[in-house]
Structure 1
């Protein structure tokens, strides 16, 4: 077997897994901001219509759709003394912090100017995150070809990403977004968002630099694939298209996309349900968010045993289904008047349990999906003779960003559809509006998750096929 094959086939030290995963703290912080706060901040604090906020994020996502695959393809063919991926990762750190800070500092101007500000800063935040996240994620397939070791690496990424988002949730609602005499609802406190932005930006910069520096030595241990001969732009685009529509890849990509959309709608509207439907205080919202630690722990406890026992595909199908049931059950019970009334102690306990279970299923499903993408890279290398981790994971990263793109867009459209008022105060939103919002959310989430399950059913790579792919790749390099 070749040097490359042997270098990537074994287990990695736990320090490498931890340093590799630590960079996703930045992604988790960014996702928390986009998913939980951005719609609420621009719509209810700044006063920009919800449909405008959703449209702005969708425009940024479209720009991402053009940028990410080109970045992935370029990093696949890039060579330097620091490796293929690390120059991009280092370059991303400061822009991530700067543009994230600007995102939360819109000018006091007309809605049109604020919309333009949101579009521009959201695009640059997403581009900066891509500059780190795509090359970093591509390292997954380079570090190891082991079927289960890849799941461990993905689990490390999700662990730090979720902890980053969770930590910011607890700190933000526990300390930054506190009530004031002028604004008795803490999470509508404009001043708290300014403090949040500075802290979040600093954390993102530090986490990216720590991960990049911490994985540099491990990358240099592994010989880079030989550089490819120069190809024309049309040939490059043709090659990119053929890889992105590969049957094995498109099934997991679409499944991840629809699952991300369902998760994104949930995250974008969670604050609305917590604030206006359940009428929770900022401290209670922090309490609910903190219970996701239980979900995180259970996700990492169950994901590897399930993958070993039943395979990644079957385990992911189970997690997708459980996430759907957990997401919609409280709302269905409230619509049927079978859920505790607002203010009752049992309500908070049930919401805490539901949130923890949802986090467990969502995180475990996401871990398995990303690990399956890594297995596709070997299948495509076997068929084409070229390694395309950056290109493949660029689309996968794009799917993860759909959580905050399509999710926020659809959330904004749903809010507009039910005529949810801007600058609303808890307790003053009509019951008919809240019930309509819950109803359309249930239908949308149900549709998106069912589509994800159908697409995932067509994913063809199981453990035995992956092992055979690795065996044949080893023979080809002899």
Structure 2
């Protein structure tokens, strides 16, 4: 048989969808810990200089980004009895779980330099180890579902588990774990080292279970997946040439630009979320926790909407419409406050308005992400017709590479907004001048809207339609039938 051997028939079963989606919870848990707790834990609990913590996190992210395309290309070309993807997936489970536990249990009484290298080394290993799972696992999507509509449904499950997996641990920390470890000496359990030791154990076990369950749950599909290319001599030049041939595509360039702008916008919004919650709106920690918990509903909204949008208006048009609505909803409460159309902080109406808007907007953003990933998956067959190679790993690795490479730009943009607003450092909510709060909103709104609209403009240049995708499948099927026809 040729490279394009048997492909899955029909829609993926519910078991396949659940198994494929569940694996994303591992990355979600890791990402939630790194995003929300790692800086605070090492700087405020362990006592490592915050600048060294930030440096370690940044260096590890840069190294990880470089590894993404390498892992993607490798998993496209691996030859084994367990196919191209599953050896990576199984092999990553224990290293990810073990190193994730260790990063939350650093040695005591070490010097600043020793702690820095401990954090840097483990952050690099954790990120690379999870990359060896996440990219091959994500790259299964185009093979598990070849149909235009089925792909959106399959990826909907993946994004659902990715968002809820990380959020479960984040919410559990704030509502259960930190209160449990509050003591007379440490009234706020968030600053108790013992809480993070327990978190490390629970999170590591969940990561391990998610990876193994997803790998075992999709194992039966190995016989139906694509074979790698025939054995050949591969040089560094070959690798770069083939990756360039695969990604030299106008529609990929559209998704590349959109992903880059979206990552910056997400970084800007996430970096300022606490400032808006605690300072701009004056919410209590309990209220912030409740708003954070709405992501479970948001994930359902996004996962349900994406297949509906795909069937009714198509992926590209659906992404544009939903992206525009999300971009306009996101800053709407801030605009209303700046215009003086809202009651004062402390009124129940303010909390419920922000909660509902956040829940709906995050759901729309998740839907947009699902459609974008499904659009990326559809490029696999187009590239195969051009190159005669299956390159799912390269495509999905390129997407994660973009996100990781520009992630820091959103943080930089947020720092500029705070500087322009003359926002005081180390101030309590009641110590921030009204002028700074107004300036914060005034600079944030045009910044986030500009990035979001540019992202929509970029994705609008994507060219692959439902008809194009079906034609690509037809041409590949025709080539396969000729290739395996007896002579």
If the length of structure 2 is used for normalisation, what is the TM-score?
0.87
Asked if 1 retains the 8 angstrom alpha-carbon contact of 2:262 and 2:452, the reply is yes
| Corresponding residue of 2:485 | none
From 436, 441, 464, the counterpart of 2:467: 464
CA 1:473 to 1:284, structure 2 compared with 1: closer, same or farther past 3 Å? same
Q: Aligned in 2, Cα 1:319/1:35: closer, same or farther, shift over 3 Å?
A: farther
Q: Is the 8 A contact 1:44 1:422 kept in 2?
A: no
Could you list the runs of 5+ residues in structure 2 that have no partner in the other structure? 482-487
Counterpart CA distance in 1 for 2:116 and 2:443 is 26
* Superposition pairs of residues 204-283 of structure 1, within 5 angstroms: 204-222=207-225, 224-283=227-286
Distance 1:209 1:174, change over 3 A: same
- Which residues of 2 match residues 295-374 of structure 1 at below 5 A? 295-374=298-377
Largest Rg, 1 or 2: 2
Deviation, structure 1 residue 144: 2.5
Equivalent pair of 1:187/1:282 in contact (CA under 8 Å): no
Given that residues 306 and 367 in structure 2 are in contact (C-alpha distance below 8 angstroms), is that contact kept between their aligned partners in structure 1?
yes
Q: Determine if the alignment matches structure 1 residue 82 to structure 2 residue 82.
A: yes
Q: Does 1:63 align with 2:63?
A: yes
Q: Which range is displaced more, 112-121 or 354-363?
A: 112-121
Is the alpha carbon distance of 1:361 and 1:230 closer, same or farther for their aligned partners in structure 2, counting shifts above 3 Å? same
**Unmatched 5+ residue regions in structure 1?**
none
**1:14, distance to aligned residue in structure 2 (A):** 0.8
Query: Structure 1 pair 71/222, CA: closer, same or farther in 2 (3 Å)?
Result: closer
CA distance in structure 2 between the partners assigned to 1:406 and 1:27 by the alignment: 22
The alpha-carbon distance between structure 1 residues 408 and 213, as it changes in their structure 2 partners (threshold 3 A), is farther
Decide which moves more: 115-124 or 446-455.
115-124
- Alpha-carbon contact 2:329-2:357 (below 8 Å) kept: yes
Summarize deviations over 1:86-129 as a string: whole Å, max 9, x none: 11111211222233334445666777666555544333222122
Rate the CA distance shift 1:430–1:207 in 2: closer, same or farther, 3 A: farther
Q: Tell me how far 1:451 sits from its aligned partner.
A: 2.3
Worse-matched range after superposition: 181-190 or 127-136: 181-190
Give the corresponding residue for 1:155. 156
2:92 aligned residue: 92
Aligned pair in 2 of structure 1 residues 258, 309: CA closer, same or farther (>3 Å)? same
Q: For residues 392-424 of structure 1, what are the alpha-carbon distances to aligned partners after superposition, in whole Å with 9 as ceiling and x for unaligned?
A: 111123345468654455546655776766665
Note if contact 2:6-2:225 (Cα within 8 Å) is conserved in structure 1: no
Q: 1:275 to 1:186 in 2, by over 3 A?
A: farther
Could you say which residue in structure 2 is the equivalent of 1:287?
Answer: 290
Residues 431-446 of structure 1: matches in 2 within 5 Å? 431-446=434-449
After TM superposition, the structure 1 stretch with the greater mean CA deviation from structure 2, 239-248 or 447-456, is 239-248
What is the distance in 2 between the residues matched to 1:110 and 1:10? 58
After TM superposition, the structure 1 stretch with the greater mean CA deviation from structure 2, 280-289 or 364-373, is 280-289
> Residue 241 of structure 1: CA displacement?
2.3
Q: Structure 1-normalised TM-score?
A: 0.89
Deviates more, 1:381-390 or 1:442-451: 442-451
Q: CA deviation at 1:296?
A: 2.1
Going from structure 1 to structure 2, the CA distance change for 1:377 and 1:221 (only over 3 Å counts) comes to closer
In the TM superposition, residue 191 of structure 1 has moved relative to its aligned partner by 4.9
Q: SS state of the match for residue 477, structure 1?
A: helix
> What is the CA deviation profile of residues 30-54 of structure 1, one whole-angstrom value per residue up to 9, with x for unaligned ones?
2222333345555666677877665
Once residues 37 and 316 of structure 2 are traced to their aligned partners in structure 1, the CA distance between those partners, rounded to angstroms, is 33
- Counterpart of 1:129 in structure 2 is 130
Cα–Cα, structure 1 residues 185 and 345, in superposed 2: closer, same or farther, change >3 Å?
farther
Q: Residues 476 and 237 of structure 1: is their aligned pair in 2 closer, same or farther, counting only changes over 3 Å?
A: same
Cα distance change, pair 255–32 in 1 and its aligned pair in 2 (3 A): same
Shift in CA distance, 90/414, structure 1 to aligned 2, threshold 3 Å: farther
CA distance in 1, matches of 2:139, 2:304: 25
Q: 1:35/1:442 Cα in 2 relative to 1: closer, same or farther (>3 Å)?
A: farther
Q: Counterpart of 2:263 in 1: which secondary structure?
A: helix
Q: Report Cα offsets for 1:444-465 as digits up to 9, x if no partner.
A: 3223212211210111101011
- Mark the CA change 1:315 to 1:80 in structure 2 (over 3 Å): closer, same or farther: same
SS at match of 2:452: helix
Distance 1:36 1:44, change over 3 A: same
Residue in structure 2 matched with residue 390 of structure 1 by the alignment: 393
Separation (CA, whole Å) in 1 of partners of 2:432 and 2:42 = 18
Say which SS state the counterpart of residue 177 (structure 1) adopts: helix
- Name 2:484's counterpart in structure 1: none
Partners of 1:46 and 1:376 in 2: CA distance: 46
> How far apart are residue 167 of structure 1 and its match?
1.4
1:412/1:384 CA distance change after superposition, 3 Å: same
CA 1:444–1:50: 2 relative to 1, 3 Å: farther
Partner in structure 1 of residue 25 of structure 2:
25
Instruction: Return 190-199 or 142-151, whichever deviates more.
Output: 190-199
- TM-superposed CA distance for 1:249, in Å, is 1.2
Structure-2 change in CA distance of 1:382 and 1:3 (3 Å) = closer
Cα deviation, residue 164, structure 1: 0.6
Deviates more, 1:131-140 or 1:346-355: 346-355
User: For 1:359-416, what per-residue CA distance to the aligned partner results, in whole angstroms no more than 9, with x for missing partners?
Assistant: 1111000000110111011110011111111111111233454686544555466557
- 1:451 pairs, out of 454, 457, 480, with 454
- Aligned pairs, how many? 478
